[in-house]
Amino acid sequence: MLDRLTPRLERSVSDLAAKTAARVGRTRHDRSDGLPPGPGAPGPLQLFSFLYQPVAFLRASRATHGEVMTIRLPGLQPIVQISKPEHVEELFKGPARQLHAGEANSVLEPFLGSHSVLVIDDDAHLEQRRLLLPPFRGERMKAYGDTMRDATVEVLGSLAADRVVVTQELTQRITLEVILRTVFGLERRGKDDELVELLVATLRSLDDPKLLMTAFQHDLGPLSPWGRFLGRRARVRELLEQVIRQRRAQGGEGREDVLSLLVGATHADGEPMSDAEIRDELMTMLVAGHETTATALSWALYRIARHAPVRERLLAEIDAAFPDGAVDPARIHTLEYLDGVAKESLRVHPVIPGVGRVLKKPRRVAGFDLPAEVVVGCSIWLAHHDPDTWPDPHRFDPERFVGTRISPYRFFPFGGGVRRCIGEAFALYEMRVVLATWLTRWVPELVPGRHYATKRRNLTLSPTGGMPLRFRRRAA
């Protein structure tokens, strides 16, 4: 909703929500159900703060209730929130059969399909993961670098100097092109157009937070939001299955896209993946990999615009590596400071605020004996801003990542354990290739007087107003 407001009105609503969130976070409730204490404000008020001012709400709740707290939102199981490295380690190393992530992600099932690796657990989950991982490993994944660079050059071809642009629109166009080409093996031309338009429209349905709540998922005909979504979903599924059948008929020979590799993948019993499995995994990669990476890029560009010393050092590194301005993705791993900028940006602005696990058995977590069916939420945002782990946590300093390995229980923008993001290496590679290509041509600048803040946009923590920035053309 805030997307459609003018910047001024958006700022007022956001300020009001921030004040409410800070108050709501500081309210106190100790219930007799044995769960750790947490904010005690009425459910709808907590939900409003949680949705519209997630960062203010988390900060205030953490300040009042400490490192383990319970958040209670209407219509959902209580969420016991943890963020200390030792507690995160306990959770990520715990037995997957007793800690269901798929169940915690179940709101996504109507959008992704019941076979999606994100919404299933136990053996079925491990099996889908085994099938999906190979295209995202090492050399295989590196084959996508040229596509990442070329998509960036194409999209930035329309950029005009010194105009305020909504950066998120550009980053989303880039990451969408990258996923369509590398994962689906599609070109936005001719017969693929209807599928591409429908995929984009289906993605946009996720922007409406109401549609993620079962209370609003009623089919009242094709004019109702849910009815419209179901109609679109049926057509997308039909078209995707057509593409899968065609790819099977052609054979994946000579193709490097993820779909062609999945068509040739076999289950442990030798059976190929079914059309429905491949279809649901394609939707999963689109939803999980497109907006997340775009948002991460927008935040990184914001930080590069904001911190002159970081910008100068980064530009010097990129210019030294690619003096003729032609980015070679095969050499991107040599740019250590660029890697630090991408990671520090994901630390300060984690795109996904947290990950959840549903307890399938009573379990002691972070010193509390919790009953089965409670959701344990691992707050990425709180962990990344913990002053015990990150001195001066709000300071942006890419040096924190240069020449060191950081514990996966202190820095985990991609989650952890057996559920750790499949696209992590792909996303970090894409961030570096896109940023290097961008910065060889254009330098980002903040727009004076603009308000830069964080809001929740479906599953992500996104910049308000889509990150308005100006870009200065670099001398040839």
Interacting residues toward ligand HEM by CB under 6 A? 101, 117-118, 129, 183, 284-285, 288-289, 292-293, 296, 351-352, 355, 413-416, 419-423, 426-427
In terms of CB distance, is 226 or 438 closer to ligand HEM?
438
| Backbone phi and psi for residue 199, each to the nearest 5 degrees, phi listed first | -60, -40
Give the span between the Cα atoms of 56 and 430, in whole angstroms. 30
In terms of CB distance, is 423 or 465 closer to ligand HEM?
423
Q: Taking the complex as a whole, how short is the minimal distance between the CB of residue 23 and ligand HEM, in angstroms?
A: 29
| Backbone phi and psi for residue 59, each to the nearest 5 degrees, phi listed first | -60, -45
Are residues 225 and 208 in contact, defined by beta-carbon separation less than 8 angstroms? yes
In terms of CB distance, is 144 or 322 closer to ligand HEM?
144
Give the span between the Cα atoms of 66 and 37, in whole angstroms. 9
Q: How many helices (H) and strands (E) does the chain have?
A: 18, 12
Helix, strand, or coil (residue 104): helix
In terms of CB distance, is 20 or 454 closer to ligand HEM?
454
Q: Taking the complex as a whole, how short is the minimal distance between the CB of residue 151 and ligand HEM, in angstroms?
A: 13
C-alpha distances (whole Å) from 148 to each of 176, 215, 277, 414 are 10, 39, 26, 20
Are residues 467 and 460 in contact, defined by beta-carbon separation less than 8 angstroms? no
Q: Give the bridge partners for 472, in sequence order.
A: 443
Q: Taking the complex as a whole, how short is the minimal distance between the CB of residue 426 and ligand HEM, in angstroms?
A: 5
Q: Taking the complex as a whole, how short is the minimal distance between the CB of residue 155 and ligand HEM, in angstroms?
A: 17
Q: Taking the complex as a whole, how short is the minimal distance between the CB of residue 215 and ligand HEM, in angstroms?
A: 25
Q: Taking the complex as a whole, how short is the minimal distance between the CB of residue 414 and ligand HEM, in angstroms?
A: 5
In terms of CB distance, is 396 or 426 closer to ligand HEM?
426
In terms of CB distance, is 167 or 293 closer to ligand HEM?
293
Q: Tell me which residue has tokens 């950081």.
A: 406
DSSP 182: I
Q: Tell me which residue has tokens 């491990």.
A: 126
In terms of CB distance, is 45 or 265 closer to ligand HEM?
265
Contacting residues for 283 by C-beta, under 8 A, at least 6 apart: 111, 112, 113, 116, 202, 236, 240
In terms of CB distance, is 292 or 454 closer to ligand HEM?
292
Q: Taking the complex as a whole, how short is the minimal distance between the CB of residue 27 and ligand HEM, in angstroms?
A: 28
Q: Taking the complex as a whole, how short is the minimal distance between the CB of residue 430 and ligand HEM, in angstroms?
A: 7
In terms of CB distance, is 22 or 203 closer to ligand HEM?
203
Give the span between the Cα atoms of 276 and 245, in whole angstroms. 11
Are residues 183 and 286 in contact, defined by beta-carbon separation less than 8 angstroms? yes
In terms of CB distance, is 329 or 416 closer to ligand HEM?
416
Helix (H) / strand (E) containing 469: strand 468-473
Q: Taking the complex as a whole, how short is the minimal distance between the CB of residue 370 and ligand HEM, in angstroms?
A: 18
Q: Taking the complex as a whole, how short is the minimal distance between the CB of residue 64 and ligand HEM, in angstroms?
A: 26
Contacts 24+ apart (CB under 8 A), 332-338: 332/145, 332/429, 332/432, 332/433, 332/436, 335/432, 335/436, 336/402, 336/403, 337/313, 337/398, 337/402, 338/314, 338/432, 338/435, 338/436
Give the span between the Cα atoms of 99 and 88, in whole angstroms. 13
Q: Taking the complex as a whole, how short is the minimal distance between the CB of residue 352 and ligand HEM, in angstroms?
A: 4
Please name the amino acid found at residue 5.
L
